[in-house]
Chains A and B, each alone.
Chain A
Amino acid sequence: MVSKMKLARVEAGLTQAQLAKQVNATRQTIGLIEKREYNPSLNLCIAIAKALNKTLDDLFWEGD
């Protein structure tokens, strides 16, 4: 299943490397978050949400 964060990133027209640069992380970290292999800190979640112009719910909430 494609993660909401990846969809939002593609929608924003950003590559993993570009997003990583904006949020002061590495491309690998962004890839791991998108593959759900790493749970980021709240600070990083907020930075990603701001960079993609989304809310935390939009990107990370897994409810119905």
Chain B
Amino acid sequence: MIHSFLNVFLPEDEYKRLRVLYFMAEAAFLIGALLMLGSALNNYWLEWNFGATEVTFILMMVPMLMAGYTYFRYIFSGIEHTEVSNNQSYKKERRVAGKRALSVGVIFFIILLIVKGIPSNYGEGIDLIALPIVFMLLYFLFDLISLKRSAKKNTDLED
């Protein structure tokens, strides 16, 4: 195996490892192109005059976009659930995905409660409840898409 700190983020299986590496490289390339385009636009045309907050936001967007691109490519490639090929294993994995989404929602709720504190008005209370629910539903939805794509790919490759 090639020694790299990236190994921490890569799966064991060599096909998955190669695909994820491609996704990461695509993300890095696209972000590089986007930053160059933004830089050129700023220099010759738009001449934005950003403050410190905006610059911090843009800098934070870079790793978020890279992680997001890699995640969505991974989800839609159908390589996450490599062993799901029949109805039984699909249903089992769907149950697991549901439980995982629920756990993630609860953790998100706890973190939100710690960061924002106990809500002092109705709006804050709604935020505290609604945000984890939306996050949980989205998490479950993406997990389900990944599961469906994986099951389809695996069925095509079956014995």
Contact = CB atoms under 8 A, between A and B. Distances in A.
B9 interface: no
Contacts of A26: 13, 15-16, 82-83
Contacts of B83: 17, 26-28
Contacts of A28: 15, 79, 82-83, 150, 153-154, 157
Interface string A1-44: 00000100010000111000000111111011011001011001
Contacts, number: 47
> By CB atoms of chain B within 10 A, which of A27, A32, A35, A44 has the most?
A27
Mostly, the B contact residues are loop
Contact of A29 (B14, B85, B159): B14
Nearest to A17: B83
B154 A44 contact: no
Nearest to A10: B159
A31 B157 contact: yes
Given A15-B159, A16-B159, A29 B13 contact: yes
Mostly, the A contact residues are helix
A25 B15 contact: yes
Interface string A32-58: 101100101100100000000000000
A11 B157 CA distance: 19
Contacts of A17: 83
Contacts of A35: 157
B12 A24 contact: yes
Contact of B82 (A6, A10, A29, A44): A29
B47 interface: no
Interface string B145-159: 000001001100111
Interface of A: 6, 10, 15-17, 24-29, 31-32, 34-35, 38, 40-41, 44
8 contacts: A15-B159, A24-B12, A28-B82, A28-B150, A28-B154, A29-B15, A32-B157, A38-B15
